[in-house]
Amino acid sequence: MSHSAIAPMVPRVSHNATTARATAAPRLKAAVIGAGMLGLDLAERLNASPVLSCELVASRQSSASALRRAAQLGCGVSTEGITAVVQAGVDVVFDASSADAHPAHWAALASADVLLVDLTPSSGGSMLTPTVNAVRAESDRHLSLVSCGGQAVLPVLDAVVRNSTRVEDVEVVTTVASASVGPATRDNLDEYLAITTYAVERLTGATRAKVMATISPALPAPAFRAQITARAYGIHTRALSDAVESAVAAVRQYAPGYRVGALSVVDDLVRATVTVTARGGRLPSYAGNVEIINAAAVTLAERYARSREVGHRG
C-alpha cells in the first residue's frame, strides 16, 4: 500500500503522558568539536538521545560540506572552534578533534560547569568504559574515552582480570578500514598506541602490554577488529566464559554490532577476537571503530545527564 493511501491519524495522548512531558527535565545542550566522520555521527546520536541535544558543531578545519551536513541535522555550526563552544553556554562538550588540540580545549573549559568528553587519544581526563567504570561519569568532569581500540578490548580484559589471579602480558592488535580513518586519527596514531597501551596496563596490572594497529586498504573494507592475547594465571575458565558473555551483552546495549569470538584458554594463554560492526545511521557497516567510541561517549554523557536530573530533583 502506498503512503498516499493511508489517512493521517492524530494520536490520542493521555493526560498522564502530557503531564509527564510537561514536567520532564529539559535535554542537556551539547556541542561537538570536529565535523569529521566522528563529529557528524555524534551529532546524529545526540539528536536521537532522550536527554541530550546537539546545539553546535564547531571546527576550524571542517569543509563547508561537512558543516552543511551538521546544519541539516538541526545543529548550529561554526568555524570558530573552541571559541564558539565557550560562548555557546552548553552543558556537555564532545571533543572529536585531535590529541594535540585537546589540552587547549580542556584549559578553555576547565573552570566552566561543563562535562568534557574526550574522544581523542589525549592523555588527559579520567579513562572510562561504560561496562567497567561508568559510575565515574556522574562525578568526574573530564572524561577520556581512551580510543576505539580501548573501548573494544577493555570490557573483555576486565573479565579476564576478574577471573584470574594475575595478568602478566597483554597484546592487542587492531585492524581498521582505511575509509573509516580520518586525517586526525592518522596524525594521532602514535598517541593512539600510547594511550591504549597505558589504559590496558592500568586496568589489568600487566607487567607488559603491547598495542599494534593496522589501517587496511582492502576492498571490500573489513569490519573493525581487535585481537587480544593475554597471559593470565589462575584462570577460572567457565567463569571467564560467562563473564565475557555478560560483558558482550552489556556492550551491545549501546553498540549492537559488538561481538567476541574465538575465545580460548590454553594453559595460561587467553585469546579472543573482538569485532564491531556499525548498525544503522549514517555510518557504513565497516566503521565499527567510530560506532564503538561514539556510542560509549554518548552512553556516558547520558548517565551524567540522568544523574544531574536526579540531583536537581533531590
The residues annotated as belonging to the active site are: 148
Backbone angles phi, psi at 12, to 5 degrees: -85, 130
Backbone angles phi, psi at 172, to 5 degrees: -125, 130
Query: Exposed, middle or buried, 291 (CB in 10 Å: 0-12/13-18/19+)?
Result: buried
CA distance 179 to 34: 18
CB 16, CB 76: distance < 8 Å = no
Per-residue burial over 113-122, b if 16 or more Cβ lie within 10 Å, else e, is: ebbbbbbbbb
- Taking the CA atoms of 35, 80, 146 and 134 in sequence, report the sign of the dihedral they define: negative
Residue 204 C-alpha from the chain's centroid = 20
CA distance 85 to 31: 7
Per-residue burial over 62-98, b if 16 or more Cβ lie within 10 Å, else e, is: beeebbebbeeeebebbeebbebbbebebbbbbbbbb
CA distance 45 to 106: 23
Residues 6+ positions from 156 with CB-CB distance below 8 Å? 228, 244, 247, 260, 272, 274
Query: Which position has the grid cell 562535562?
Result: 115
